[in-house]
Structure 1
Amino acid sequence: MDAQLYRTATDFGSVAHWVYRRDPVLFTSELTTLRTTRGVTDGVFLSVTDCDGEVGAAMQTPGDALLVSGLPPAMAKTAALEVATVRATLPGVRGTRPNATAFADAWCSVTGAQAIESIGRTLYRLGDLVAPNGVKGESRIAGPADADLLLDWIDGFFVDAFGVVSDKGARRGFLGDIRAYGGDVVLWSVDGVPVSMARVHAPAAGMSRIGPIYTPAACRGNGFGAAVTAAAARQANRRGARYVVLFADVANVVANGIYKRLGFVPVADSLECAFVAQLPKEPAAV
């Protein structure tokens, strides 16, 4: 197998186009990440070509997990060896379960790191939208006047979903990126008061992803999350998306049930593993 690293996302572009655009649903994370990597020179952009001419790809932006949905398991060891020449450590790996598992095993074998499964998600694609009935309220697109509210809610989402500490400085950058890269935030409001939100990515290769979706604790249990998700799907379609996708935590039974009732169909299981240094073994007791 032949592995090749690329200095920039631009250099990686032709490979990315070949690998990722052939299935914009499965490679939703790669396509939306590529939109933000123009000018990035300290990421990892990698292709692997096997003896039959099949091309796989992986990519990572600084501080994030390596994305490997486009890297078949048979290419994992070659990829790990090549990445290790430019990265002594990686924060983690994310992709379809078989691909992520294969790369995690290979990376641990090459570097001695330890992989810890952190997040399991299901990737969904919208079939025929079945909007919920009887939910009070209406949708609108968030504007500049909603910035403080969105900052609080995005921070709340990260705290609730990932168990991290509140960090509104980091979330301010996240919110700025939504605007900078052409995304929308759809709000569901009751009597003019916002009660739920859903971010909508700008279409890439005909695909738009929804998320994060967040309803404050005090507003839950009223169908607002389902309503705003349906409104976000319609907004994605209005912007030209042929495929509307989202991820759901496999452990969140309520959310998975809601998305299925709305018409979302499971596509693939996704896994994220964090890499940590291998702990030294305790000496045997004498």
Structure 2
Amino acid sequence: MTWSFTDSAAAFRAAAAEHLAADPARNTAVLTLVDRAGRLGWWEEADGTVTGVLAVAPAGVPALGVMTEEAARALALPGGLPGEQPTQVGGETAAVEAYAEATGRPWTPAVRLRLFRLGELTPPDPAPAGTARLATGADVPLVAAWTGEYAVAIGEEPAGDYTGFVTERISEGRLWLWEGPDGRPVSMAAVSRTSGGQVRLHLVYTPPAERGRGYAAGVTEAVSRAALDAGAPQVLLFTDLANPTSNALYQRLGYRPVTDHLRVAFTGLAR
């Protein structure tokens, strides 16, 4: 039983295809990182069966996909995870906790998430005032500013410039805005590219001054419907478990819990 690592997306897909296809929803974090990951890995049992995967995000944070706790603990052994010890790691709760405990390093929970999968899409009732539309190039400055605010709101360090980040999503028709009754954009949401039979909603954000009017529900329903209309087999999203409002909202729209995730921050070296 061993971990293998590569920087080749093609080699990773060839090795882990069956494991990824068995549960693309639970492997969503890895699937959405494959083509831009700094490192990819898979865990093989003695008979050669792959039972675990991971992807190291460009920022150096490992995302643990579906894996056994044994595989997670093995990552903490000498030679287990290539490169420097990570400052954070995320993934399904049991695997992350197993890895974190095995490192012997002090750590603290950074955020607890819940993965949801769309069942039957249910429009918000009452419907919010306004309408949804695809974002255009003219919206880039506004959406880039909102993306920085969104990063702060979810506890991340904002990047200096999100222009390229949002331009990519807008040019590919993957970012929607909700316009209020006066025609002003008041909320946004985006969807990932289809990968492994699933897409994932992200960047669901409403500026504080516009909240409480159902705009987030409106734009989320619009993006979800667009993803379904485009043929996405599974539509997913993550919510922060510390935010009961958003968790309740998504369930009213037809999203159902799949599994819980945890991201931990290491606060020192091994004891």
TM-score (norm 2): 0.91
What amino acid sits opposite 1:236 in the alignment?
A: A
Contact 1:206-1:240 at 8 Å conserved across structures: no
Query: Gaps spanning 5+ residues in structure 2: where?
Result: none
Contact 1:69 1:100 in 2 (8 A): no
1:46 Cα deviation from its structure 2 partner: 1.7
Q: Give the structure with higher Rg (CA).
A: 1
Output aligned runs, 1:145-184, within 5 Å.
145-162=138-155, 164=157, 166-169=158-161, 171-178=162-169, 182=172, 184=174
Instruction: In structure 2, give the amino acid aligned to 1:20.
Output: L
Counterpart-to-counterpart distance in 1, 2:58 and 2:156: 21
Match of 1:207 in 2: 198
Task: Indicate whether 1:117 and 2:116 are aligned.
Answer: no
Say whether residues 1:197 and 2:188 are aligned partners.
yes
**Aligned twin of 1:267:** 258
Q: More deviation in 227-236 or 268-277? A: 268-277
Q: Alignment length, in residue pairs?
A: 268
- Inter-partner Cα distance in structure 2 for 1:23 and 1:48: 16
Return the match for 1:59 from 34, 40, 55.
55
Contact 1:138/1:189 (CA < 8 Å) preserved in 2?
A: yes
What do you get for the CA RMSD once the two structures are aligned?
2.1
Equivalence for 2:137: 144
Which residue among 39, 43, 54 is the counterpart of 1:48? Answer: 43
Distance 1:125 1:174 in 2: 25
Q: Residue 163 of structure 1: CA displacement? A: 5.6
**Does residue 225 of the first structure (1) align with residue 221 of the second (2)?**
no
How far 1:127 sits from its partner (Å)?
0.6
1:96 aligns with 2:87: no
Aligned-pair CA distance for 1:219: 0.4
Residue 142 of structure 1 deviates from its aligned partner by: 0.4
1:27-83 residue CA offsets vs partner (Å, 9 max, x unmatched) = 11111111334xxxxx22222212254312222133232111222111123233365
CA distance in structure 1 between the aligned counterparts of 2:99 and 2:61, rounded to whole angstroms: 12
1:195 match: secondary structure: strand
Q: Deviations over 1:147-195 (max 9, x none)?
A: 001011111101112164x5442x3343245358x46111110232111
Distance 1:129 1:198 in 2: 16
* 2:89 counterpart SS class: strand
Distance 1:139 1:7, change over 3 A: closer
Q: Which of the residues 45, 59, 67 maps onto 1:71?
A: 67
Task: Please report how far the alpha carbon of residue 257 of structure 1 lies from its aligned counterpart in structure 2 after TM superposition.
Answer: 0.6
Assess, with a 3 A threshold, how the Cα gap between structure 1 residues 232 and 249 changes in structure 2: closer, same or farther.
Answer: same
Residue 10 of structure 1 aligns to a residue in which SS? helix
